A and B are shown apart, each in its own frame.
Chain A
Amino acid sequence: MIRVEQLRKTYPGHHGRHVVLDDVNIEVQPGQRLAVLGRNGAGKSTFIRLLGKVELPDRGRVEHHMSVSWPLGFSGSFQGSLSGLDNVRFIARIYRREYGALRAFVDDFAELGDFLYQPVKTYSSGMRARLAFALSLAIQFDCYLVDEVIMVGDQRFHARCREALFDRQAGRALVLASHDTHFVRQTCDAALVLDKGKVRFYSDVDEALSVYESL
């Protein structure tokens, strides 16, 4: 379970501090598949980074009672000037996994071939996503934080992610920020809608989607 209590986050803005999230109280249960909906700039990515304890809130707290992945998104998590393999090595060290096993899984899942020897900054966003998903799946978290990024992968990669992560049988909790209503309806069983710093929980995804579409 992830428990979020009275969370508040502000950023320095043009007129004083801009409130991104205010008084957010939610829980993510083991195995729950939660969509995060909201317009651009509503604070979805910020919310996911706070859930992952990457950024710290101004007030309130985030508690992890299960293992939670780092936020899988377009940016972050890799050192661009290092090769893919060096990044695998780094992640193996800090998550205390055996490098050989991690590499074997990444080779199999991400199918990056010789690109693993190239610096990560030369990767396309699809390739980065493949590497990030492969690594986080190999480490095996109870809950995955996914920020939109799944859309950039190709068909084959989508299919593999669905099996390993997005299907209910995979048994992982999921917090997924996405604009793809079809994908959300297919994957998630509850949703949060972010608007003007407030977060509302909906146990019915269709209802959440109709609220989101009316924003």
Chain B
Amino acid sequence: MPSSEAAAPARPLRSVLPVGLMAAARLQMIVIGALMMREIHTRYGRENLGFIWLIAEPFVFCMGVIGVWSALHEGYQHGVPILAFVLTGYMPLTLWRHCVQRAVHCFRANASLLYHRQVRMLDLLIARIVLEVYGALIAYAVIAFIFWALGFYQLPKDWALFYLGWGYIIAFSAGLGLVMGCVSEMAEWSEKLVGPFMYFLLPISGVFFMADWLPARYREWALYVPTLNAFEMIRGGQFGPSVRVHYDLAYTSWFCAIQFALGLILCRRVHRHLVIE
């Protein structure tokens, strides 16, 4: 018998898996933290730049887009500086696209970890989504700082509105990630529709335009798209009173809340239907 086996004291039941609401919540945080570390290791490896790619990837992407747009529109469009406009459009877009993409294959990559009963479908999704949110926020901060230091980017005029818009984009992306992650697990074909769906959403999402640029009768309809509301807030915060923004706080809040609740319900259902190898 190995010596350490004899030396290890038998531990009480409670210490393996805790009981009680607070203890359970703490364990859940630990599990999600461990899953995030796991994701970082498998996705970015231990060598080379590692998790720097979390920032470098959207950075490279944004640089390309800013280059093309600046060449086409000579710095300003509708009186708005292109660089800040692209930055406030593409960075939230990356967050939102990545959340869905990562959620869709989430179960397949992690199925074996569900053998540990404290790991749930919801934890797998949350770990990936939180990581994407961190990535997008850090990337935005780093890229914005670089351009600010170079004098191409001005800090947001209204921080509160700016953060509120980001908050809504995060809430929307996380909710959509939960829903899509579960739906893709319940019906295989739905995965094929994710691409077209995202493509369709892109032109109406508000990445490329502001509501005020639209004719009034279209604007009313456009504001049913929750992301447009969030982009309006971000840009309202970024550019301040120099632009007119349109958004509906109540509608966007309800949309995100209902989507999130739906995601949570689906997570419960999916776990019941899972067949784990």
Q: A residues within 8 Å of B by Cβ?
A: 11, 49, 52-56, 58, 66-67, 70-71, 75-82, 86, 89-91, 93-96, 101, 104-105, 108-109, 137-142, 160, 163-164
Contact B37 A90 (CB under 8 A): yes
* Chain B neighbourhood of A141, CB < 8 A: 16
B residues apposed to A, CB below 8 Å: 1-5, 8, 10-11, 13, 15-17, 27, 30-31, 33-34, 37-38, 41-42, 110-119, 271-272, 274-277
- How far, in whole Å, are A52 and B119 apart by their CA atoms in the complex? 12
Pair A79/B113 contact, Cβ less than 8 Å: yes
A-B contact pairs, 30 of them (CB 8 A): A54-B114, A54-B117, A54-B276, A55-B274, A55-B276, A56-B274, A67-B13, A67-B16, A67-B17, A71-B115, A75-B112, A76-B115, A79-B110, A80-B112, A81-B42, A82-B38, A82-B42, A90-B113, A93-B31, A93-B34, A93-B37, A94-B31, A94-B34, A94-B119, A95-B16, A101-B8, A105-B5, A108-B4, A109-B5, A137-B5
Q: How far is the CA of A163 from the CA of B2 in the complex (A)?
A: 9
CB-CB nearest in chain B for A119: B42
Q: Complex Cα distance A94/B2, Å?
A: 24
Give the docked Cα–Cα distance between A56 and B276 (Å): 11
* Interface residue SS majority, chain A: loop
Known: A94-B116, A164-B5. A55 touches B34 (CB 8 A): no
Q: Are B13 and A66 in contact (CB under 8 A)?
A: yes
Top 4 nearest A-B pairs by Cβ distance? A93-B34, A76-B115, A67-B16, A77-B115
Residues of B within 8 A of A90 (CB): 34, 37-38, 113
Q: B116 contacts which chain A residues (CB < 8 A)?
A: 70, 77, 91, 94-95
Q: Smallest CB–CB gap between B272 and chain A, Å?
A: 5
Which B residues lie within 8 Å of A75 (CB)? 112, 277
* Residues of chain A lying within 8 A (CB to CB) of residue B3: 108
